[in-house]
């Protein structure tokens, strides 16, 4: 990846790659009773990221972090976790092994793998895929009956084996007891000097154990991310899923190809999202809203039902109440706007004083004139108004109109 950031923490659709894998595990109909997370390169950063996982994942999965030091291959990584599933073996349970760099994997695919594994009464079941270019992947070798015979790592593949395009995804289901028996037998007698997890398969086969392979229905879903180009492809696929789910739920996305919505965004029915809008993770948008085009909606923003955020507007930790609107060229940062208020074109909430962010409160039925600067922290009470170009440095009382630089109340005409 050519990055100081561990691969599994690289961002996809607003979240670390690892989070999507854990989310799929959390969505299993029966989440694993024991969850071992083996970390190697950049372990401290990876472990620190666990505190920021989405709440539903933390609630469904109780993760036991385990360090792999040094990193001596996938088999060695599983050896680090062997003691964690002793209790699973005692109950004749299964072990599911998933890689942290396969962010597109779906819970439904893992369910299908586990079901196939149990139907076959297999000691081991490998999830495989077919690819046009198998470079970098372990090749799946089948016998004359089509049964799994062995997996040859890319570094060791040559001749006809190197041309095989059915490859190992790195995702397995094992009968726990069979895996515990096989792990100590792994050898690092290979080109990389590493312990390969697929090498347990021939050991099991030689002892009459059944090993199975299940071809994934969608090869994109099980491909790993190893380069920036693959990261971009995975990001695009995840965002497409997000948009599809939103549209199925009743959100009108005018141009999905040019709309960017991250994971963890909530949008209500009959809301319209116009092209070139970016909606970041941690945003909640109600029903019947209108967003964009060219809007940037950042984390912590809430648009309540029927609110409108228009072209070239940016909102950060902002709440826009029902029937309130900011239609043109406005920056709303650290602000709460009540119901039925209008934020004029070019308005800026000046929330940062160079050291700290400050909050502004704008009430119901407020009219903010074009080009107004609201210097936080400020409170503009219900019915307050600002003239065009006003620089508001003091609170505005209910029903009062202020104008000028600095803004001062206008006297009422008799």
Q: What is the pLDDT of residue 136?
A: 78
Asked if 92 contacts 212 with a C-beta cutoff of 8 angstroms, the reply is no
Catalytic residue, chosen from 116, 252, 328, 359, is 328
Residue 92 to residues 81, 118, 266, 374, Cα–Cα distance (Å): 17, 12, 41, 66
Helix (H, G, I), strand (E, B) or coil at 339: coil
Answer positive or negative: Cα dihedral of 41, 43, 48, 53: positive
For residue 251, the model assigns a pLDDT of 98
Q: Judging by DSSP bridges, how do beta strands 308-311 and 260-261 pair with one another?
A: unpaired
Query: Which pTM was predicted?
Result: 0.89
Question: Could you tell me which residues are beta bridge partners of residue 367?
Answer: 342, 385
Residue 112: the pLDDT is: 96
pLDDT at 414 over 80: no
- Least confidently predicted of 68-72, 253-257, 304-308: 68-72
pLDDT > 70: what percent of the chain? 100
- In this predicted model, what pLDDT tens digit does every residue of 12-31 receive, in sequence order? 999 999 999 999 999 999 88
Q: What is the mean pLDDT of residues 264-278?
A: 98
298-334: pLDDT as tens digits: 999 999 999 999 999 999 999 999 999 999 999 999 9
For residue 124, which of 146, 96, 85, 84 has the smallest C-alpha distance? Answer: 96
What is the per-residue pLDDT for 137? 79
Span 116-140, pLDDT tens digits: 999 999 999 999 999 888 887 788 8
Which pLDDT score, from 0 to 100, does residue 195 have?
A: 93
Q: Is 116 a catalytic residue?
A: no
Domains in the chain with CATH codes: 7-222 (3.90.550.10), 249-409 (2.160.10.10)
Q: pLDDT per residue over 165-223, tens digit each?
A: 888 899 999 999 999 999 999 999 888 889 999 899 989 999 999 899 999 999 889 98
């Amino acid at each position: 990846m050519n990055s100081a950031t561990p691969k599994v923490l690289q961002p996809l659709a607003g979240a670390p790659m690892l989070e999507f894998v854990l989310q799929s595990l959390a969505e299993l109909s029966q989440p694993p009773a024991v969850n071992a997370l083996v970390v190697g390169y950049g372990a401290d950063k990876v472990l620190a990221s666990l505190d920021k996982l989405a709440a539903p994942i933390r609630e469904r999965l109780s993760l036991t972090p385990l360090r792999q030091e040094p990193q001596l291959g996938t088999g060695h990584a599983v050896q680090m976790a062997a003691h964690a599933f002793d209790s699973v073996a005692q109950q004749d349970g299964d072990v599911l092994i998933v890689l942290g760099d396969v962010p597109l994997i779906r819970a439904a695919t893992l369910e299908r793998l586990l079901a196939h594994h149990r139907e076959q009464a297999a000691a081991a079941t490998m999830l495989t895929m077919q690819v046009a270019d198998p470079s970098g992947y372990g090749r799946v070798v089948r016998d004359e009956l089509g049964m799994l015979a062995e997996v040859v790592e890319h570094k060791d593949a040559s001749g006809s084996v190197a041309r095989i395009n059915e490859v190992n995804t790195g995702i397995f289901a094992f009968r726990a007891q069979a895996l515990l028996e096989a792990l100590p037998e792994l050898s690092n007698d290979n080109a990389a000097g590493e312990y390969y997890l697929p090498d347990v398969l021939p050991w099991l086969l030689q002892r009459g154990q059944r090993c199975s392979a299940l071809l994934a229905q969608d090869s994109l879903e099980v491909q790993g991310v190893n380069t920036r180009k693959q990261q971009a492809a995975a990001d695009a696929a995840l965002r497409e899923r997000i948009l599809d789910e939103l549209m199925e739920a009743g959100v009108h996305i005018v141009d999905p190809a040019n709309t960017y919505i991250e994971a963890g965004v909530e949008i209500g029915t009959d809301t319209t999202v116009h092209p070139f809008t970016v909606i970041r993770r941690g945003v909640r948008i109600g029903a019947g809203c209108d967003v964009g085009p060219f809007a940037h909606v950042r984390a912590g923003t809430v648009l309540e039902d029927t609110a409108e955020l228009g072209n070239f507007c940016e909102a950060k930790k902002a709440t826009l109440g029902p029937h309130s609107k900011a239609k043109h060229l406005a920056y709303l940062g650290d602000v709460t706007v009540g119901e039925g208020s209008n934020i004029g074109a070019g308005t800026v909430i000046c929330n940062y004083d160079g050291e700290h962010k400050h909050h502004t409160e704008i009430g119901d039925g407020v009219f903010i004139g074009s080009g107004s600067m609201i210097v936080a922290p400020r409170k503009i009470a219900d019915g307050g108004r600002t003239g065009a170009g006003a620089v508001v440095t003091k609170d505005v009382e209910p029903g009062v109109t202020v104008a000028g630089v600095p803004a001062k109340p206008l006297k009422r005409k008799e």
